[in-house]
Amino acid sequence: MPSRWEQIVVDAEDPARLARWWAEALGYVIVHEAPEEVEIRRSADEMPGLLFTPVPEVKTVKNRLHIDLRPDDQEAEVERLVDMGARHVDIGQGDVGWVILADPEGNEFCVLSSKKI
């Protein structure tokens, strides 16, 4: 039997702050909070989740793993996320159909265009 995907662990300077940012961005809820970790999920019983844990160093290089978001309205979602504290990032992507942003601690993620039906 294969393993079940439970969560992605995100290193953070301030796990509680970053977890709350991502919970708002994704419409998730905090399902566990302790001094050394905060986990968010869509709902308490729905996996996978994102687990934020503290690290002493700041992020210095491009992520090797990132989240892709697919909103109904790419432009409106980018504006909402930037208003929340995300920033545009150029990682040399050129002219593409998605927007690369970084969360408040610099973790890159993509906002894709709406899915064509």
Selection from 100, 111, 25, 10 nearest residue 59 by Cα? 10
Whole-number pLDDT of residue 33 = 97
51 shares a domain with 96: no
pLDDT in tens, 39-67: 999 999 999 999 999 999 888 888 888 99
Whole-number pLDDT of residue 117 = 58
Tell me which residue range forms the domain holding 15: 1-56
For the entire predicted model, the pTM comes to 0.90
Q: How many domains does the chain have?
A: 2
Assign residue 51 the CATH number of its domain. Answer: 3.10.180.10
Q: At what angle do helices 74-84 and 15-26 cross, to 10 degrees?
A: 160
Domain boundary among 9, 31, 56: 56
- What are phi and psi for residue 97, nearest 5 degrees? -90, 10
